[in-house]
Amino acid sequence: MSTIDDLFAAGRPKSRQLYEQAATTFPAGVTHDTRHLEPFPIYVTHARGPRKWDVDGNEYIDYVSGHGSLLLGHSHPAVVEAVQQQMAKGTHFGACHELELAWGQLVKSLIPSAERVRFTSSGTEAGMMAVRLARAYNGRRKIVKFQGHFHGWSDQMMPAVNPPWDAPSSVGLLDETIATTVVLPANDLPLLERTLAGDRDISAVVLEADGASMGTVPLAPGFLQGVRRLTEHYGALMILDEVVSGFRYSPGGVQAVVGVKPDLTMLAKILAGGLPGGAVAGRADVLAPLEYKKEPGHQRMYHPGTFNANPISAAAGVAALRIVGTGEPHKTANASAGQLRKRLNEAIDERQASACVYGETSIIHTYIGPCERIGSCDRSLCTNDPARLKGMRAISGGLRRALLANGVDFIGAMALVSATHGPREVEETALAFAKTLDLLLAEGLAKRR
Ligand SMILES: Cc1ncc(COP(=O)(O)O)c(C=O)c1O
């Protein structure tokens, strides 16, 4: 057994026991793919601000941040109070309620392209709805998506989530469905133009606003603007996936930063303040199939959903978005993330490790692999190859175990910083990362330049 595995397993006997039980109840023993970790994942009892604790009493600085939903940190007092009050009043009225209206109005006021909003229960559902609305709008059948971009696990969005791009990312998909998703490399506007010009059956182009997998593969400057221009020109819709970036890059998401107005925006995560929830926001005429109109020829899109805009998620969402709207959480989270990126790159340089830490706003990515600019690294990302950047999975188990053994929880090779992560968390994480790098280098999971 390696030192990393020993260190990880030694302090976590209860987590191991629980996992052994879970493996006989859940396939793979887990309830979300990214929680899978060899030889077992940690079981968490509670969390507060930037930290969480496991069943064995270990404390962690948490960068999973509720899979990105907790920009305000765990159990923000305003969110807790709003949810507690609502619990006492009722969790589901099976009826319209004032909180859903306040929630929708907040989305409209923050997201520049949001003329209308429809709540769903998740980001995956928001993607399903956006694609169906696009098809209903222009009567075309296909979508374009980009290599490595993730838009939830619906059939049509699944192709090319992970390399190899031409193999289905999942079993159980129909060839007929996959054939309606055209996969392209991102950042190639001439290719996108040729594709849109050559296939008038493309209904929409969908992309993560910050690049594949929360910005793991950054978008080239101007690409979003190019997608906007080309979709408009060729009569396709632009669906911007801001499930992660919405409310995180700025109160109005990436679109408010770069000044691009998509036709439809997918939202979730921070939207619901750490509770389940998603939404499609966008042009009133594109969301119009959801209207009940008596006009001849009007065809409806059917959309039920037991927990759409449920009062508990709405209460949390309203409380969170009111704070998000001030822009204050972004200042703290971005400053801590910037400082952390600097400190982690220093640890890499000190060891001359072949690695790089990068990212924007409050998102941090770790790339451990071959360096392009050996000897002249300027600490910026030197490759934009999605297969290489997303290929981090091969070592991310070792990275995650080593970080956990040192009191830090990353989501794979990624860290999502909240407004509660401050200088103390930065210092402790830098130290833990340095120890982790030493372990990875010693075990050959990372190499020197
Ligand atoms: C960019 C992006 N889009 C869509 C989704 C799917 O959202 P959900 O997990 O709420 O279904 C995710 C989830 O991580 C995501 O990162």
- Read off the DSSP letter of residue 217: B
Helix (H) / strand (E) element for 44: namely strand 44-48
**Sequence-ordered list of residues with C-beta below 8 angstroms from that of 315, at least 6 positions apart, any chain:** 82, 83, 85, 86, 99
- Please give the average pLDDT of every successive group of 10 residues along the chain, which has 449 residues: 91 98 97 94 98 98 98 98 98 98 98 98 98 98 97 96 88 95 98 98 98 96 98 98 98 98 99 98 98 93 97 98 98 98 96 94 94 76 86 81 98 96 98 97 93
> CA 332, 413, 344: angle at the middle one, nearest 5?
55
User: Which CA distances in Å does 71 have to 104, 229, 381, 415, 417?
Assistant: 19, 32, 25, 12, 7
Using most ligand atoms within 8 A of CB, pick from 35, 119, 243 the residue to mutate for ligand 1: 243
State the architecture of 77-324 in CATH terms. Answer: 3-Layer(aba) Sandwich (3.40)
Any ligand 1 atom below 6 A from CB of 121: no
Q: Are 181 and 119 in contact (CB under 8 A)?
A: no
In the numeric block, which tokens belong to residue 212?
A: 């594949």
Using most ligand atoms within 8 A of CB, pick from 70, 150, 247, 248 the residue to mutate for ligand 1: 150
Any ligand 1 atom below 6 A from CB of 123: yes
Q: Are 211 and 258 in contact (CB under 8 A)?
A: no
Extents of the domains making up the chain: 3-74+328-442, 77-324
- Residue 1: the pLDDT is 66
Any ligand 1 atom below 6 A from CB of 268: yes
Tell me how far apart the alpha carbons of residues 147 and 159 are, in angstroms, rounded to a whole number.
8
Distance 124 CA to ligand 1 centre (A): 6
Residue with structure tokens 């493309």?
A: 202
> CA 257, 64, 276: angle at the middle one, nearest 5?
75
Distance of CA 424 to the CA centre of its chain: 25
In the numeric block, which tokens belong to residue 47?
A: 């969390």
Using DSSP's 3-state secondary structure scheme, residue 74 falls into: strand
Backbone angles phi, psi at 278, to 5 degrees: -150, 175
- Residue 144: the pLDDT is 98
H helix runs in 90-154, sequence order: 98-110, 123-138
In the numeric block, which tokens belong to residue 404?
A: 């956990």
Q: Which residues pair with 47 in a beta bridge?
A: 52
- Parallel, antiparallel or unpaired: strands 278-282 and 264-268: antiparallel
The DSSP-derived string for 391-446 is TTHHHHHHHHHHHHHTTEE-BTTEEE--TT--HHHHHHHHHHHHHHHHHHHHTTSS
Residue with structure tokens 């704070």?
A: 323
Residue with structure tokens 């509770």?
A: 275
Residue with structure tokens 């962690």?
A: 60
Residue from 195, 201, 213, 197 nearest 147 by CA: 213
The DSSP-derived string for 200-211 is TTEEEEEEETTS
Q: Which amino acid is at 93?
A: F
Distance 349 CA to ligand 1 centre (A): 33
Tell me how far apart the alpha carbons of residues 150 and 208 are, in angstroms, rounded to a whole number.
7
Residue with structure tokens 């790089």?
A: 356
State the architecture of 3-74+328-442 in CATH terms. Answer: Alpha-Beta Complex (3.90)
Tell me how far apart the alpha carbons of residues 378 and 423 are, in angstroms, rounded to a whole number.
24
Using most ligand atoms within 8 A of CB, pick from 35, 67, 124 the residue to mutate for ligand 1: 124
| Residue 127 CA, closest ligand 1 atom number | 4
Cα dihedral: 142, 145, 150, 153 (round 10)? 20
Whether omega before 112 lies within 30 degrees of 0, making that bond cis, reads no
